[in-house]
Amino acid sequence: MPTSTPAPSAAPALNLRAAIDIDIEYIVQTRTSETWSRPVDAEHGQLPGLDVWHAVRRARRSYAAQALIGEHGILTLTTATAAMRFIPADAYADYFCSAQDCEESTEDGEGWQGLCGNCADRAYAKELDEDTSESISPAVPASPTPRSLPATPDTTAPAYSSADLRTAAATVYGMLLDALDPQSGVGEGIGDHTIPSTEGTTASRTWQSLGDDEASQIYDVMRQLLGAAPDLSRWAVDMAAEQLLPEPEPLTRWQDDAAAVRVHLAFASHVTAEQRASIQSALRLVLRADL
């Protein structure tokens, strides 16, 4: 958060609930080092107020996150390794930089035309550079460049490691998933989706077409599955960092008609289809072995 932005203050759950407007949209920002950014997934980049409330509630309970209230209704969740900020959409339009890929506040008073101070300085420097380039005549020889001292090597090491970044990203990933709380109506959002096994058939139908009572039971089962699902955020972030693509189907060892071992595979793009098939065949042999 820019130094010109007033520091938010911690608040109890009661005040947080009152501070969150469930009828408006919130812009989501995340921070893993010193820079705020928007989530890559557009679904996570903006959330309704009700989902924000559930995200705050669950993050405090599951991640021991500290919830803070700032000016303009901005809420910040912080843990030991990461931070997430929820900004009312109107406040985001009024008080945050309009430059692409910049998520800084414009309240430092040093910007112009919707830009924060840093982006305004860069835009001004670019204009000066273009004006200077146009004013220089190519017929005038350039002055010889004076010999300069060797540059002092930058020995400043970052205050964090790549492993720290992955851990922080996994924390934020988990917090974003928690924001999609099934109790907020996300489960019911699947009602208009086609039941996969009926898609493309003459009996194609949606979940909601089963009727209110049966659909309600299905949504309850979905909530139970979501609640019992393990946290795979670190696995997903590691795959993204290493540019691995998951295989759609896992390998399974069955025992007494139940899954005893399941192996999920992910490959780099340069691994050929033949190599993938060979690896999968070898793993199937291992899973079938009498261990």
Q: Summarize pLDDT for 145-175 with one digit per residue, the tens.
A: 544 445 555 556 666 566 766 777 767 766 7
Please tell me the distance from the alpha carbon of residue 215 to that of residue 194, in angstroms, as a whole number: 13
Closest CA to 94 of 116, 63, 120, 61: 116
Closest CA to 68 of 1, 12, 24: 12
Three-state DSSP class for residue 268: strand
C-alpha torsion sign, points 50, 52, 56, 62 = positive
Name the amino acid, one letter, at 244.
Answer: L
Q: Summarize pLDDT for 212-247 with one digit per residue, the tens.
A: 788 778 777 777 776 677 777 788 888 888 889 988
User: What one-character DSSP code corresponds to residue 12?
Assistant: -
Q: Summarize pLDDT for 81-137 with one digit per residue, the tens.
A: 778 889 998 888 888 877 766 767 766 666 666 677 677 677 666 776 665 555 555
